[in-house]
Structure 1
Amino acid sequence: MSLTDTIIIGAGPYGLSLAAHLKAAGVAHQILGEPMGAWRHYMPPGMLLRSEAFASSLQAPRAGFTLEDYCRLKGLPYRPLGMALPLETFVQYGLWFQANLVGETQTADVLSLRRVGDEFQLSLSDGRTLAARKVVIALGLKGFAQTPPALQGLPARYASHSERYGNLDWARGMDIAIVGGGQSALGLSALLNELGARAHVLMRESHVIWHERPQGGRRLLSRIKTPDAGLGRGWRSLFLSECPGLFHMLDPARRRQIMDHSYGASGAWWLRDRVLGKVQLSHRTELRGAAIENERVVLRVLSDGKEASVSADHVIAATGFRTDMRQHAFLSKELADAISNQGGMPDLSAHYETRVSGLYVIGPASAHSFGPVMRFVYGTKHASPTVARHLTGSLKAGTRQRAWPAAHAPLPERSGE
């Protein structure tokens, strides 16, 4: 069994950003996961990122590795604001970042993680066992999909969650119902419509909130009144984008309130013309039940206070995610219970460390501790350097504690035998 200082579970934007910082600091580490794997396999081709280009860079320990730097190097168009960023460009940027600042990753999955004494032991899908002094979980939204009860238990042929979607060619010519009214639901509906499917969005909201296309070159007074921020425009967005440490200091009830009322169902500016007049939208509609009839899925809904039914070949639940660390099957029950509060969310310190010393959580799973910025790539600018500094300091302190000079080594206590 090999021992290393730190193991990072996950090789998406958060895992890669942290690995780059640890490598620059000279901290021995290993990163587990396929680089940008979820973005490569579970996002549909042709998708555009919701975030603005300036807010879509991974966090590097030195200058020269932003998305803008990559686009300039590759001769690709770039604008910090008002540019629709293709998924494919972002994925290639992430792989370029990894090749230059991170190096090799290990693509094996983690089957189990448990605490043994002062170390963590990990069993991998390739049969190996690893040990580490510190472990960082950076798995994004994996395992946290929230599916309405009415759709749970339906065969995969008829129902799925927007969590995992690659190529959508299978849906050509089909009737697809999409439950949800946010970016994921609207984005999928546009792509499906453009592929020749008939998409029908069922949303609880009374209308779609469409974001305006941001414009650069605004006058100083306008920028002061409503500053541009990583999560959008305005002082509230600026606070949530740039001050996760202050968010962490808020009372848990206040944090929960902000999370529940921030960045809800809405659509990006570049989706509006691709959806309105082209995709069927049913507002004020709630899903009540579902059944399979004549090789179709039939949804029972309440729409504008009246019961109705919607028939489709397939239904996609674009109903979001709910953080629950207990859903990570690889975590031992002792670890899962120790790091989670009653709702399954991790209770994190100001350094992203759980209540289990040496075990950290970064990315979307840390959002209830540090705010909605952690649900976006922009959050890497805060999490990666903070965790890297804490890991570096604690590992050095641990080395000093273990490295007793022989002449001054503490004597073992008598066992009483």
Structure 2
Amino acid sequence: MSLTDTAIIGAGPYGFSLSAHLRAASVPHQILGQPMDAWINYMPPGMLLRSEAFASNLHAPQRGFTLEDYYREKGMRYQPMGMELPLETFVDYALWFQSKLVGDIQAVDVAKVRYIGGHFQLALSDGRSLNARKVVIALGLKDFAQTPAVLQGLPERYASHSALYGDLAWARGKDIVIVGGGQSALGLAALLHEQGSSVHLIMREADVIWHPRPQTSRGILSRLARPDAGLGRGWRSVLLSDYPQLFHMLDHRRRKQIMEKSFGASGAWWLRDRVVGKVKISFETEVCSAAVENDRVVLRVIREGRESSVAADHVIAATGFTTDIRQHKFLSKEILDTISADGGLPELTSNFETKVRGLYVIGPASAHSFGPVMRFVYGARHAAPCVARHIAGSLQAGATADAWSSAEGRILERTSDSSIL
């Protein structure tokens, strides 16, 4: 059995950012997971990031590792706003960040996490096990995909969720129905249409909310009236983007209200010309049933009180995500029973710690405690330094790695910076 101080579950933007801060604080740790797995394997090639470039930085404890720094090193033209940011470029940037500040990663999945005797035991997918004083869950949204009940009984051949893509070549030349009206639905519709699929978008909304193209040069009065922030324009966006601790101070009812009314279904400015007039859209339409008939999926839909049918080769549910920590099957029942509240939402302290001491949650699953900024890469600038300070502080307070020396096994050198151990 191997030992470490802190295990980070998740090798994406939040995991990388936290690892960089722990490394700077000389905290021995392991980062577990396939590097940028969801971004590489579950997002379609050619996708553009919704966030503006200035809001797409991983967070480092020192200067020189922003997206702009990466562009400069590669000799590419950078623009903080109004620049299209391809998925592939962002992944390359994140892996560059990893190579500079994180180092090697344990490219394994975590099969089980148990809390025993004041520390955590992790069973890994390669058969090894790991003991850790602290564990940080730094995963994305994939486990929280929400598929409407009406589509859940369909075989995978005929129905899937937008969280599962991935290369879209399988859909070339096919009839595809997309259910949903947000960024994911609109982005998939554009990519599928451009590769030769016949796309029909079905949405409950009366229209698509399109974000305007950013104004890269504004006067000082305009910027004072509606400043730019990580999540958009305006003072409300500034508060939600840059002051997650204020959000954390609100009562549960108010937090839930803000989450439900913030950043709903909408489309980025660079998608409008790729969708409008090119993709068939049915507005104010509800799917009431679905079945497979003659090797096609047939949806019964209702619009303006009238029922009709829509047939396709495949239907994609681009219907968003619902945070439910219970979907992380690797957590033991005892841990889940302790940290789950209000339908699976983890209640977190101001340091992102759960009710199980030493277990932290950062990234999208922390959004109901710290606001919608945690659903975006921009939130790493708040979570990573906060959690790193708390872990480093507890280590200095007496829970040192020496306490592990009598335990079974050996200290596993941190692959991200073994020289500091």
Mapped partners of 1:256, 1:96: distance in 2: 37
Q: Render the CA deviation track for 1:294-320: whole Å, top value 9, x for unaligned.
A: 000000111122111110000000000
Aligned to 2:387: 387
3-state secondary structure, aligned to 1:245: helix
Aligned to 1:413: none
Aligned to 1:412: none
3-state secondary structure, aligned to 1:310: strand
Aligned to 2:103: 103
Aligned to 2:67: 67
Mapped partners of 1:207, 1:23: distance in 2: 47
Please say if residues 34 and 109 of structure 2, whose CA atoms lie closer than 8 Å, have aligned partners that are also in contact: no
3-state secondary structure, aligned to 1:398: coil
Please say if residues 9 and 15 of structure 2, whose CA atoms lie closer than 8 Å, have aligned partners that are also in contact: yes
Aligned to 1:113: 113
Aligned to 1:143: 143
Distance verdict in 2 for CA 1:301–1:359, change over 3 Å: same
Give unmatched runs, 5+ long, in structure 2: 404-421
3-state secondary structure, aligned to 1:76: coil
Please say if residues 347 and 369 of structure 2, whose CA atoms lie closer than 8 Å, have aligned partners that are also in contact: yes
Aligned to 2:192: 192
Mapped partners of 2:398, 2:270: distance in 1: 51
Aligned to 1:43: 43
Mapped partners of 2:342, 2:234: distance in 1: 34
Amino acid at match of 1:205: E
Spell out the pairing of 1:313-328 with structure 2 (5 A cutoff). 313-328=313-328
Mapped partners of 2:89, 2:294: distance in 1: 42
Give unmatched runs, 5+ long, in structure 1: 404-417
Amino acid at match of 2:292: I
How many residue pairs get matched?
403
3-state secondary structure, aligned to 2:291: strand
Following superposition, the deviation at residue 396 of structure 1 comes to 1.6
Aligned to 2:284: 284
Spell out the pairing of 1:208-357 with structure 2 (5 A cutoff). 208-357=208-357
Mapped partners of 2:298, 2:399: distance in 1: 62
Mapped partners of 2:146, 2:36: distance in 1: 22
Amino acid at match of 1:173: G
Distance verdict in 2 for CA 1:41–1:381, change over 3 Å: same
Aligned to 1:414: none
Please say if residues 206 and 284 of structure 2, whose CA atoms lie closer than 8 Å, have aligned partners that are also in contact: yes
Mapped partners of 2:248, 2:137: distance in 1: 19
Following superposition, the deviation at residue 2 of structure 1 comes to 1.3
Please say if residues 47 and 87 of structure 2, whose CA atoms lie closer than 8 Å, have aligned partners that are also in contact: yes
Mapped partners of 2:367, 2:243: distance in 1: 13
Please say if residues 119 and 133 of structure 2, whose CA atoms lie closer than 8 Å, have aligned partners that are also in contact: yes
Aligned to 1:159: 159
Mapped partners of 1:258, 1:294: distance in 2: 45
3-state secondary structure, aligned to 2:144: coil
Q: Tell which deviates more after alignment, 392-401 or 112-121.
A: 392-401
Mapped partners of 1:308, 1:95: distance in 2: 48
3-state secondary structure, aligned to 1:122: strand
Mapped partners of 2:267, 2:142: distance in 1: 23
3-state secondary structure, aligned to 2:130: strand
RMSD: 1.1
Q: Render the CA deviation track for 1:366-403: whole Å, top value 9, x for unaligned.
A: 00000000000000000000000000001221337987
Following superposition, the deviation at residue 142 of structure 1 comes to 2.7
Mapped partners of 2:170, 2:120: distance in 1: 42
Mapped partners of 1:380, 1:265: distance in 2: 23
Amino acid at match of 1:267: G
Q: Render the CA deviation track for 1:121-150: whole Å, top value 9, x for unaligned.
A: 000010001000000001111311100011
Mapped partners of 1:30, 1:375: distance in 2: 24
Following TM superposition, the consecutive aligned residue runs of length 4 or more in structure 1 with deviations greater than 4 angstroms are 400-403
Mapped partners of 2:401, 2:362: distance in 1: 27
Aligned to 1:133: 133
Q: TM-score, normalised by structure 2?
A: 0.94
Distance verdict in 2 for CA 1:402–1:127, change over 3 Å: closer
Mapped partners of 2:118, 2:200: distance in 1: 53
